[in-house]
Amino acid sequence: MAFKQIIHSKKVLAFLAVFMLLGTNMLMAQTTATADAAKPGVDWLGVGYYVLLFFLLAISVAVIGKILKVYDLSQQIQGKKGIHWNNIMGVICLVFLVVGMAGAYWDITVQGSMSLPEAASKHGVKIDDMFLTTTIITMIVFVITQILLFVFLFKYRHSDKRRAYFLPHNNTIEKVWTIIPAIVLTVLVIFGFFTWQEVENSTDVKGQPASINIDITGHQFAWELRYAGPDGVLGKKDFRLTAGANKLGIDYKDKNSMDDLQADTLVLPVNKTIRLNIFAQDVIHSVYMPHFRVQQNAVPGLPTFFKFTPTITTEEMRRKVEDPKFEYLLYCNKICGSSHYNMQKVVRVVTEGEYNQWIAKQKPYLTPALRTELKLASADQNKSITNNRLALNN
């Protein structure tokens, strides 16, 4: 019986060897073709290369396994003791531990270096601190548990010289691994709660409203911006008024709407509290500004907001990252359709003086075309009518 198994294993081994040889040739051909087709500066070999590499690795493991199986059967036929598979599996566990830890180290050093620059907002610093704290705690737990897991698998692998000791229940151990994680998670949740409450609160610490209110409205596939005019107050909106040139549904019966401004760039004064009033006109979008650690969904029919304070101007960040063309960007972080990638807008943080100069140059939403469409009198006409009324009264 053992002899038949050896013959069968040899046939399978020969088949796998031939298949691996063919795969190696295909891999070399794929590598050569990809290298010839690759453009200068492109450092990748294509999906097919990696899929083939994975299959070759799997086949190699199968070949090695079959070789060991044949050797084990031949030893048994000769009346000798076969391979100590438990020892082999124990060693594999140690190898897996070392390789896994090396991979984790690579991920932290290489992928970790691709993280964003320092937070450019006041609350962003707290969020980064929370993220770092959580990462350190989970990393410590990860390292300890993985070392214990694989070292114990090796140390307590099966042996005919000892029997396993089963521990069905231990109150002390269960208290330790329940109470300690509960305390750690509670602390993280409490700090997270207060940070989130500070971010989501519509007023600042002193109870004063945000310095600047800006409306951001998402639709497929763009962002629309609305700033308050000289009166400093945004006018009301009504989705039922959305039509033609009044693409945001601004209610011009509200006098505060008459001087509202439109803008192509989201310009923010540094160290001023900004409240973003977030709307969506069709599907769910998401306001996402990673450098400010800002993200909030834009939900149709459910206005949301986000309050933050930018602390680093665009010019300062350009010097920090050594990139004279650097720009903060506003993205949509919800896949909202085929042209989702187009939903980007430049965000520029400037000094208060630069902001005042910029806002003074922005055009009102109430354009002449919109006045005509809404049948509103022009400012000159209103002034003339008012003067005539005063003259008649006199």
Q: What is the pLDDT of residues 271-297, one digit of tens each?
A: 998 999 999 999 999 999 999 999 999
115 vs 104: CA distance, rounded Å: 16
pLDDT score of 216? 94
If we measure between CA atoms, which residue out of 197, 202, 200 comes closest to residue 213? 202
pLDDT at 122 exceeding the cut of 70 = yes
pLDDT score of 201? 66
Element (H, E) at 308: strand 304-308
pLDDT score of 68? 77
Among 1-15, 157-171, 331-345, the least confident range: 1-15
Arithmetic mean of pLDDT over the chain: 80
pLDDT at 311 exceeding the cut of 60 = yes
110 vs 142: CA distance, rounded Å: 19
pLDDT at 215 exceeding the cut of 50 = yes
CB 16 within 8 A of CB 63: yes
Long-range contacts, 63-68 (Cβ 8 Å, 24+): 63/13, 63/16, 63/17, 63/20, 66/9, 66/12, 66/13, 66/16, 67/13
Calculated CA dihedral for residues 135, 137, 143, 146, nearest 10 degrees: -100
Tell me the pLDDT band of 194, cut-offs 50, 70 and 90.
confident
Q: Which pLDDT tens digit goes with each residue over 369-390? A: 777 777 765 444 444 434 433 4
pLDDT at 246 exceeding the cut of 70 = yes
Q: SS3 letters for 37-95?
A: HCCCCCCCCCHHHHHHHHHHHHHHHHHHHHHHHHHHHHHHHCCCCCCCHHHHHHHHHHH
The 3-state DSSP composition of the chain as helix, strand, coil percent (nearest 5) reads: 55, 15, 30
Average pLDDT over residues 36-48: 54
Determine the angle formed by the axes of helices 47-77 and 2-37, rounding to 10 degrees: 160
149 vs 75: CA distance, rounded Å: 32
pLDDT score of 73? 79
Residues 6+ apart with CB under 8 A from 108: 139
Say which amino acid occupies 339. S
pLDDT at 112 exceeding the cut of 50 = yes
Tell me the pLDDT band of 21, cut-offs 50, 70 and 90.
low
Q: SS3 of 230, please?
A: coil
Average pLDDT over residues 119-148: 90
Q: Who has greater pLDDT, 74 or 212?
A: 212
pLDDT score of 97? 93
Read off the pTM: 0.69
379 — alpha (psi -120 to 50), left (phi > 0) or beta? alpha
Percent over 70 (pLDDT), the chain: 80
Calculated CA dihedral for residues 4, 9, 15, 20, nearest 10 degrees: -170
